[in-house]
């Protein structure tokens, strides 16, 4: 069972860190945005952080609901990435109510592993409109030979991208790495096989692909 007080405290601390220009999440944001049609009505981002992706969503959505557990993340998002059609909400998505068939897009990046996964899939099945999309980008645990081949091959490109984009070998400084490592001690990730088993049970038409920088991308259209 996830300790959401601990998660909130961690991300309130992480909110105070300086963000690198490039990381293993935002390098996929443009790819995510290509999956989303123009001029949709309502987008929901679960785990919006400082609002970088929420702001991008606001260019394609009439309304963006951006939710995060950490109040300091929401405070930063309102300052760094404001837009009149973004509603930033601090709270736990598990405690929030949304009408059935009310959302055009649900996006969550590096947050799904903090949620009950079957709840998330069923939430999308109920809340998305017909034709709506669920998009998940998240971390995954290596298990198969393919996993180890793909993700071990990302080691040197990761260094190169950090040098080019962030001007250093690693994306985080020593202080930031200590905070992320402390948070990571109580993170738990599923394998691709475990993820696919749950998808086949609940949303069997979803597509799942390994991504280069230790992530997977799930896309499902209702």
Q: Quote the pLDDT of residue 180.
A: 84
Count of positions (residues) in the chain? 222
Q: Quote the pLDDT of residue 8.
A: 94
Q: Quote the pLDDT of residue 176.
A: 77
Q: Which CATH entry fits the domain spanning 4-221: 3.90.1150.10, 3.60.15.10, 3.30.429.10, 3.40.50.150?
A: 3.40.50.150
Contact 52, 76 (CB under 8 A): no
Q: The pTM is what?
A: 0.95
Partnered with residue 40 across adjacent β-strands are 61
Q: Quote the pLDDT of residue 153.
A: 94
What region does 110 belong to: left with phi over 0, alpha with psi -120 to 50, or beta?
Answer: left
Kindly give the confidence (pLDDT) of every residue in the chain, 222 residues in length, as a single tens digit, with 9 standing for 90 and above: 789 999 999 999 999 998 889 999 999 999 999 999 999 999 999 999 999 999 999 999 999 999 999 999 999 999 999 999 999 999 999 999 999 999 999 999 999 999 999 999 999 999 999 999 999 999 999 999 989 998 999 999 999 999 999 988 787 777 778 888 888 888 899 999 999 999 999 999 999 999 999 999 999 999
């Amino acid at each position: 069972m996830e300790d959401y007080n601990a998660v909130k405290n961690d991300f309130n601390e992480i909110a105070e860190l300086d963000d690198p220009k490039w990381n293993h999440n935002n390098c996929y944001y443009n790819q995510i945005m290509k999956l989303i049609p123009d001029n949709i009505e309502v987008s929901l981002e679960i785990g919006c952080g400082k609002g970088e992706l929420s702001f991008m969503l606001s260019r394609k959505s009439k309304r963006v609901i951006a939710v995060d557990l950490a109040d300091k993340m929401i405070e930063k998002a309102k300052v760094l990435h404001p837009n009149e059609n973004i509603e930033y909400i601090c709270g736990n998505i598990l405690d929030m109510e949304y009408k059935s068939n009310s959302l055009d897009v649900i996006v969550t990046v590096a947050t799904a592993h903090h949620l009950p996964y079957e709840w998330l899939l069923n939430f999308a099945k109920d809340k998305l409109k017909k034709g709506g999309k669920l998009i998940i980008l998240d971390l995954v645990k290596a298990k198969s030979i393919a996993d180890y081949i793909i993700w071990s091959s990302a080691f040197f490109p990761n260094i190169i991208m950090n040098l080019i984009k962030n001007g250093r070998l690693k994306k985080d400084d020593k202080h930031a790495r200590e905070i992320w490592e402390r948070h990571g001690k109580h993170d738990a990730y599923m394998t691709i096989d475990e993820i696919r088993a749950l998808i086949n049970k609940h949303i069997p038409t979803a597509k799942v692909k390994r991504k280069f920088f230790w992530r997977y991308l799930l896309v499902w259209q209702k």
